[in-house]
Amino acid sequence: MQSAITLTVSQLNEYIKALLDSSELLGNIYIKGEISNFTNHYKTGHLYFSLKDESALLKAVMFRSSAVKLKFIPENGMKVIVRGRISVFPRDGVYQMYAEEIQPDGVGVLYLAYEQLKERLFLSGLFDEDHKIPIPRYPEKIGIITANTGAAVADMKNIISRRYPPAEIIIYPSLVQGNGAPEELAAGIRFFNEKLPVDTIIIGRGGGSIEDLWAFNSEMLAHEIYKSKIPVISAVGHETDFTICDFVADLRAPTPSAAAELAVPEINDIKYRLNQSFSSLHTHIIGKITACRTELALVSKNKIFENPINYTKRFHEKTDEFANMIYSSGIKILQAKKSLVSEKAAALSALSPLAVMSRGYSVVTAEDGKVISDAGKLSAGDPVEILFHKGRAEATVTKIIKGGKTDARKKEN
For the segment 127-153, the average pLDDT, to the nearest whole number, is 94
Cross-strand bridge partners of residue 32: 81
Give the Cα separation of 88 and 19 in Å (integer).
10
Our measurement of the distance from residue 213's CA atom to the centroid of its chain's CA atoms, rounded to an integer in Å, reads 36
For residues 294 and 288, the answer to whether their CB atoms sit within 8 Å is: no
pLDDT at 413: 39
pLDDT at 313: 72
In the structure, what pLDDT confidence band is assigned to residue 258 with cuts at 50, 70 and 90? very high
Task: Go through 299-327 and write b for each residue having 16 or more CB atoms within 10 A of its CB, e for each that does not.
Answer: eeeeeeeeeeeeeeeeeeeeeeeeeeeee
Alpha helix stretches (DSSP H) within 195-255: 219-227, 244-248
Task: Go through 336-369 and write b for each residue having 16 or more CB atoms within 10 A of its CB, e for each that does not.
Answer: eeeeeeeeeeeeeeeeeeeeeeeeeeebeeeeee
pLDDT at 366: 84
Q: What share of the chain is helix, strand, coil (3-state, %, to 5)?
A: 45, 25, 35
Q: List all residues 6 or more positions away from 118 whose beta carbon is below 8 Å from its beta carbon.
A: 244, 247
Max avg pLDDT among 107-116, 163-172, 384-393: 163-172
Whether 411 shows a pLDDT value over 50: the answer reads no
pLDDT at 360: 67
In the structure, what pLDDT confidence band is assigned to residue 391 with cuts at 50, 70 and 90? confident
Q: pLDDT tens digits, residue range 239-255? A: 888 899 999 999 999 99
In the structure, what pLDDT confidence band is assigned to residue 108 with cuts at 50, 70 and 90? low
Helix axis angle, 256-263 to 151-163, nearest 10°: 20
Domains of the chain (ranges; CATH) run: 9-106 (2.40.50.140), 115-265 (3.40.50.2300), 363-407 (no CATH)
Q: Which among 411, 321, 323, 303 is positioned nearest to 366, based on CA atoms?
A: 411
Whether 150 shows a pLDDT value over 90: the answer reads no
Instruction: Give the CA count within 13 Å in the CB-facing half-sphere of 159.
Output: 19
> CA geometry: angle at 48 spanning 45 and 54, to 5°?
155
For residues 47 and 38, the answer to whether their CB atoms sit within 8 Å is: yes
Q: pLDDT tens digits, residue range 197-232? A: 999 999 999 988 888 899 999 999 999 999 999 999
Percent of the chain whose predicted confidence (pLDDT) is above 70? 91
Q: pLDDT tens digits, residue range 29-82? A: 888 888 899 999 888 899 999 999 888 999 999 999 999 888 888 888 888 889
Whether 398 shows a pLDDT value over 90: the answer reads no
In the structure, what pLDDT confidence band is assigned to residue 185 with cuts at 50, 70 and 90? very high
pLDDT at 254: 92
